[in-house]
Amino acid sequence: MLGDLPFVGSEEIKRLCECFSSIPPGKTVFTPCRNGVFGHPMFYRSLWKERFKTAQGDAGGRNILMDYKDEIITSEAPDCHFRDIDTPDDYKNLVKKN
């Protein structure tokens, strides 16, 4: 689980785990999604460990995912999966809003 997703709560994590545990055969990735955009956290079968070893740069993992897009299953997800904290300014803005 990425540490920069403070809005994804325990009930949502439980829901995601239940979704992942019931993905059909042939599917190896489960991810929250909205309007075709993947959110986080993503859940992967163990075979992805080897696949991701070839990733390069910031978009490397995303490019590898697209090579296997027929193995991905998604679930429409709330905003919390698309709001993360990457910079000190992101954190400051979060504190101001709350």
E strand or H helix that includes residue 4: none
Tokens of 58: 């910031």
Q: What is the pLDDT of residue 40?
A: 85
CATH superfamily of 10-97: Spore Coat Polysaccharide Biosynthesis Protein SpsA; Chain A (3.90.550.10)
pTM: 0.77
- Tens-binned pLDDT, residue by residue, of the chain (98 aa): 667 777 888 898 898 999 999 999 999 999 999 998 888 889 999 999 999 888 887 777 888 999 999 999 999 887 878 777 888 998 888 788 76
* CA-based radius of gyration for the chain: 15
Q: What is the pLDDT of residue 6?
A: 79
Q: d(Cα 95, Cα 89) in Å, to the nearest integer?
A: 10
Per-domain residue ranges for the chain? Answer: 10-97
